[in-house]
Chains A and B, each alone.
Chain A
Amino acid sequence: MRFIEHIFSLFSSQKSAKLAKERLQIIVTHDRRKRRYLPLLQQELLDVVRKYASIDDDDIKIHLEKQGNYEVLEMNIALPK
């Protein structure tokens, strides 16, 4: 049974599952990179600012907003007086 299925599949022009896997690997890698980038950026900025002022973890707020074709990164740092 399985043998016959294999023979048949040789005739079908493209294995769509293979294509699905390739496309998924690309998009999932892209998604993951994007997810990681914001927290990392936030942490690094925090480290930089801390060289000059003493602030808490939540004194820095970062927002990424989609506006049409581009994205706007908004950042707020509350400095102590």
Chain B
Amino acid sequence: MSKIIVITSGKGGVGKTTTSAAFATGLALRDYKTIVIDFDVGLRNLDLVMGCERRVVYDFINVINGEANINQALIKDKRVENLFILPASQTRNKDALTLKGIARVLEELKKNFDYIICDSPAGIEHGAIMAMYFADEALIVTNPEVSSVRDSDRIIGMLSSKTRRAMQKMPPIKEHLLITRYEQKRVNKGEMLSIKDVEEILAIPLLGVIPESLEILKASNSGVPITYNKETDAGQAYLDVVARFLGEEPPKRKKKGFFRRWFGRKL
């Protein structure tokens, strides 16, 4: 049975695209046939983060409009088997996304994929609704910061009212909280909301916490999703998120201390 998972947040710049790339890669590394779709029509960044920007020929909108078939538009990842990318169009706007068109594409993809990951655009309008509409599960990407938490709450409200599962009175979308750009140091100083604070306010189950990390910038600079680098805290955190998503309980990880960071790292 294939599953559709939306990566959403309301607020922009919180790490949805980073998470989509890392999570999809992580699932493929675990041998699940996975496709990640860029719903951010007009912007298109997922291809850059995944390092396949120069191989884009056709895009999601072309497929929706019947100007290309899915196999022409899918890009096969060069690093891992089982991973495919469906890029967004840069020249259209989000209105080009229609429920009917998306439904048709998803039905077709469901025949071939275990997981369909939808990278949502920011906002609470049309584009975001299109990305979440057919979802079975949702990763709500949240930074420990007031506007991100408030927007996540609004998105949670939309997941339970504006989606297919809500409208057809089916079992609700399964929601997962993913806290990203977390800085324990600042939490200790009382400058940043803690994991518990965010959990308490949003009241949905926590799937994982991704620390603020320079490595993420390096990963997107080079177009290699962070999950390939399990030596990094953030890469390992995303792999743990994938494991937990698959129902496993990864070992508790202590933050590397000064000595381990300096003397324990691989050369």
Quick check: A12 and B146 within 8 Å, CB to CB?
Answer: no
Cβ contacts under 8 Å, A24 to chain B: 146, 149-150, 193, 201
B154: nearest residue on chain A (CB-CB)? A31
Interface size counted on chain A using CB atoms at 8 A: 21
Chain B min CB distance to A21 (Å): 5
| Most-contacted residue by chain A among B146, B185, B192 (CB, 10 A) | B146
Cβ contacts under 8 Å, B171 to chain A: none
Chain B min CB distance to A66 (Å): 15
Cβ contacts under 8 Å, A17 to chain B: 187, 190-194, 197
A5: nearest residue on chain B (CB-CB)? B188
Interface, chain A (partner B; CB < 8 A): 2, 5-6, 8-9, 12, 15-18, 20-21, 23-25, 27-28, 31-32, 35, 39
Cβ contacts under 8 Å, A8 to chain B: 189
Cβ contacts under 8 Å, A18 to chain B: 190
- When the two chains form the complex, which single residue of B146, B187, B188 contacts A6, counting CB atoms closer than 8 Å? B188
Whether, in the assembled complex, B240 has its beta carbon less than 8 Å from a beta carbon of chain A, the answer is no
Interface size counted on chain B using CB atoms at 8 A: 20
B158: nearest residue on chain A (CB-CB)? A35
26 contacts between A and B (CB under 8 A): A5-B188, A5-B189, A6-B188, A8-B189, A9-B189, A9-B190, A12-B190, A17-B191, A17-B192, A17-B193, A17-B194, A18-B190, A20-B146, A20-B197, A21-B197, A21-B200, A24-B149, A24-B150, A25-B201, A28-B149, A28-B153, A31-B150, A31-B153, A31-B154, A31-B157, A35-B157
Cβ contacts under 8 Å, B72 to chain A: none
Give the dominant DSSP class at A's interface: helix
Chain A min CB distance to B266 (Å): 24
Given contacts A9-B188, A9-B189, 17 further A-B contacts (CB under 8 A): A5-B188, A8-B189, A9-B190, A15-B190, A15-B191, A17-B193, A20-B145, A20-B197, A21-B193, A24-B193, A24-B201, A27-B150, A28-B149, A28-B153, A31-B153, A31-B157, A35-B157
- When the two chains form the complex, which single residue of A9, A12, A32 contacts B153, counting CB atoms closer than 8 Å? A32
Whether, in the assembled complex, B221 has its beta carbon less than 8 Å from a beta carbon of chain A, the answer is no
Quick check: A20 and B188 within 8 Å, CB to CB?
Answer: no
- B178-198 interface code vs A (CB 8 A; 1 in, 0 out): 000000010111111110010
Whether, in the assembled complex, B161 has its beta carbon less than 8 Å from a beta carbon of chain A, the answer is yes
Cβ contacts under 8 Å, B185 to chain A: 5
Chain B min CB distance to A7 (Å): 11
- When the two chains form the complex, which single residue of A15, A28, A39 contacts B201, counting CB atoms closer than 8 Å? A28
Quick check: A20 and B193 within 8 Å, CB to CB?
Answer: yes
Cβ contacts under 8 Å, A31 to chain B: 150, 153-154, 157
What's the Cα separation between A6 and B185 when bound, in Å? Answer: 11
Chain B min CB distance to A56 (Å): 15
